[in-house]
Amino acid sequence: MSSPPRPDWPFPLLRSGRDRDLFDLGDHVLVVTADRLKLLSRLARFWFRATRDIVPNAMVSLAAEGLPWALRPYWPELAGRSTLLRRVPPCEVRCAVHGCLTGAAHEEYVAHGGVFSTRLPARLRRGARLSSPLFAPFLEDGQGRRRIIPVSEMADRVGFRTMHHLRERCLALFLRGYRYASDREVILADAEFTFGRAPNGAWILADEALTPGTSRYWSLHAWRPDAEAPRMDEEDLARRFGIVP
Is this prediction's pTM over 0.85? yes
> What is the C-alpha to C-alpha distance for residues 198 and 57, in angstroms, rounded to an integer?
9
Chain centroid to CA 176:
13
Is 60 exceeded by the pLDDT of residue 91? yes
Q: In which element (H, E) is residue 151 found? A: helix 151-158
Tens digits of residue pLDDT in 202-225:
999 999 999 998 999 999 999 987
The answer as to whether 131 is a domain residue is yes
Output the pLDDT for position 16.
85
- The reported pLDDT for the residue numbered 79 is 83
Q: What is the pLDDT of residues 120-170, one digit of tens each?
A: 888 888 899 999 999 999 998 766 678 889 999 999 999 999 999 999 999
Instruction: State which amino acid sits at residue 44.
Output: A
Q: Look at residues 86, 115, 131 and tell me which one is the last residue of a structural domain.
A: 86
Query: By residue range, what is the domain housing residue 196?
Result: 95-241
Q: Are 77 and 102 part of one and the same domain? A: no
Whether residues 131 and 21 fall in one domain? no
**pLDDT bracket for residue 2 (50, 70, 90):** low
Q: State the average pLDDT over residues 9-16.
A: 89
Residue 6 counted as domain residue: no
List the CATH number of the domain containing 56. 3.30.200.20
157: domain CATH number is 3.30.470.20
Q: 5 in a domain, yes or no?
A: no
Number of domains in the chain: 2
Q: How confident is the model at residue 1 (pLDDT cuts 50, 70, 90)?
A: low
Q: What is the pLDDT of the chain when averaged over all its residues?
A: 89
* 36 DSSP assignment: G
Reported as a pLDDT band with limits 50, 70 and 90, residue 7 is confident
Are 82 and 157 found together in one domain? no
Same domain? 110 vs 57:
no
